[in-house]
Structure 1
């Protein structure tokens, strides 16, 4: 690198030797040209439109969400104002809509009616109130050698007379019963002639009848006759000459009183699969205490116990009055409604057949399905109700 050294004097002389630059333009002219000089255009920012679009989209989304929320709030507010209550779930809303207007005491009249009537609808027997403006045709229908009493409730306007006797009612309607459709054997009407004198029923058997083909057929016939005319004082089985009939397996048939011997009522299924409460003829104890206790066990393969296996009870007697006490506190609502009703009605029918009152004790419910367990149980007047169709 050259080692030249410059001093101030030399630099100063060198600068003086440069030619002088002169500009003869006026200051105003120079200023105007500078003012008119165009600025260099800037490079456009390509990301700016995308940013603007994103911001716009977010703004619109927020706005729409806000409007929807406001609309939902307004709708909820209107619902609350109209229902005078808090917002409820869908199921609750459907329940609320299904409820009828409330009655004067805060409980809807329809709800009160349902509470009173719906459990009663589970009942399968005929009770005293069912007899009003109706006639009860009780018929002992047959199935596989067993007798099942079926009670047809017939509106009184369907009968020719205001108070038909038992034979008139039977002869008018028994022939119309479609036994096979109900799951039973074809057995009615009886062969021969029926006659009623006051409360005495006479059945005149024709020659060649089939009611004594065997001990089973004879028992079926007599049991059916007894169930069909249960409310009469006496039944007589006669030949065509009016004398006491003689059946090959029992000899002369003596007049007998229907219902004189009580029966335990068990469940029996017919060909349709329907279950009915039926008396166990020939298998029932002599007294009501033993008959009620016997309900816990099936007497054979065809009869079934109406009492669930897990339920145990005892029977206490006070003279002719029976009290059935469950060993453990029984909540009837934990049972199937039909099974619970079959159990209660089998007990009631069994007690009724022995002409004995019945109390049921140690249940969670003081009242259930129209039964009041705080007093003597309401007993049926006849089992297995079927309403006769009105014309």
Structure 2
């Protein structure tokens, strides 16, 4: 079949024969719609409009051109795809540039009115605070090993209270939805066993199957014991844990022998350091394995790394600290002469590490004096700041 050739005059005659398109809307309505969405038309928008017009013209002429032409169906699809892609790119560019224009306009307006700009990055609080906790919710803390299984990192979640459940059944239910590996930690939960409350002895009964893995190696045994004790200590005031295997009292552990029960002793007086999961710039606030006699010693520990455990110093963004003292369950710290203090995420995480360390020693508030900046994130340094309820909030829903 011979390829037909259309001259310019023939195409013009063909277009004149096309039916007229009339818009029956009231001109006032058209103008009103345009006014509501009026924007400056960018020069780059015209190629997109032209592309759309070309696409419309193509489909109108296609039926007339198929007779006596070698324009194949595959070629029509290719041309349609090309035009669609161009239109998508144009629309995306328009959206991005419009958003950028709006952000720039708002930022300029804020600068003129003296209001904080929306361009300012907000520091994230990673701990949970009492005044921010909604009614009808409960905080649960789980201790999870790092990938090298050297330290335990406390992860806290917020769960809605259930009227028909005590804290322990809800606690064990929530552990099944933890996503440890997504957080850069070792998969550990749910526990391979059951946990029940013995109200007569105010203790927790932990029953494991006969094929449990917690006796396979020294590391597994120590981690299992530490996790269970820390979990109970962090979430209750219970003082004892009883173990059984398939309902028979006792659990066999190589390093401990046959163990039937252990006491739960509150585990406090640690210093909080930074632990960075692989590929993350946001640290977990992590207590040291060691404990310390007083908070002054713990604060000195916070200034140094512990490379063998993968822990980084947590006070560097706040340094130097002066006149550190304790009075009436309040930690007082002076930042006098600290001209390098910045309102950013690192400083916010550092301040939270200080708050959590204060909590470890039974303190309730921290007071910062002589700060060169009024705020660190949402922390108002001109006021007494209460210590958090729990560290490292993660969302599980």
Q: Does 1:147 align with 2:152?
A: yes
User: Normalising by the residue count of structure 1, what TM-score does the alignment of the two structures yield?
Assistant: 0.61
Separation in 2, partners of 1:344, 1:151: 18
Measure how far apart 1:212 and its partner are: 4.0
Structure 1 residues 209-266: Cα deviation after superposition (integer angstroms, max 9, x where no partner): 3334444333322332244331311251412357565643246552113x43222111
User: Normalising by the residue count of structure 2, what TM-score does the alignment of the two structures yield?
Assistant: 0.60
Higher-Rg structure is 1
SS at 1:328 equivalent:
coil
SS at 2:312 equivalent:
coil
Q: Does 1:129 align with 2:131?
A: yes
Partner of 1:347: 354
Q: Does 1:323 align with 2:358?
A: no
Partner of 2:235: 231
Partner of 1:308: 316
Structure 1 residues 256-310: Cα deviation after superposition (integer angstroms, max 9, x where no partner): 13x43222111112245352111122x2313222212210012333111112278
Partner of 1:201: 204
Closer, same or farther: CA 319–219 of 1 in aligned 2, 3 Å: farther
Closer, same or farther: CA 214–96 of 1 in aligned 2, 3 Å: closer
**Pairwise mapping of residues 109-258 of structure 1 onto structure 2 (< 5 A)?**
119=122, 122-133=124-135, 134-143=137-146, 144-145=148-149, 146-154=151-159, 156=160, 161-162=162-163, 164-197=165-198, 200-229=203-232, 230-234=234-238, 235-240=240-245, 241=247, 243=249, 245=251, 247-250=253-256, 252=259, 254-257=262-265
Closer, same or farther: CA 322–309 of 1 in aligned 2, 3 Å: closer
SS at 1:228 equivalent:
helix
2:274 and 2:284 in contact (8 A); partners too: yes
Separation in 1, partners of 2:132, 2:346: 22
Closer, same or farther: CA 101–262 of 1 in aligned 2, 3 Å: same
SS at 1:97 equivalent:
helix
Closer, same or farther: CA 262–213 of 1 in aligned 2, 3 Å: farther
SS at 1:381 equivalent:
coil
Partner of 2:296: 289
1:316 and 1:325 in contact (8 A); partners too: no
2:207 and 2:244 in contact (8 A); partners too: yes
1:306 and 1:346 in contact (8 A); partners too: yes
Closer, same or farther: CA 183–95 of 1 in aligned 2, 3 Å: closer
1:124 and 1:385 in contact (8 A); partners too: yes
Give the CA RMSD over aligned residues: 3.4
Aligned length: 281
2:196 and 2:204 in contact (8 A); partners too: yes
SS at 2:338 equivalent:
strand
1:316 and 1:322 in contact (8 A); partners too: yes
1:200 and 1:232 in contact (8 A); partners too: no
1:264 and 1:295 in contact (8 A); partners too: yes
Consecutive unaligned residues of structure 2, counting only runs of 5 or more, are 1-100
Consecutive unaligned residues of structure 1, counting only runs of 5 or more, are 1-92
Closer, same or farther: CA 135–247 of 1 in aligned 2, 3 Å: same
2:142 and 2:231 in contact (8 A); partners too: yes
Closer, same or farther: CA 374–196 of 1 in aligned 2, 3 Å: farther
Partner of 1:81: none
Closer, same or farther: CA 128–96 of 1 in aligned 2, 3 Å: same
Separation in 1, partners of 2:187, 2:253: 22
Separation in 1, partners of 2:192, 2:218: 18
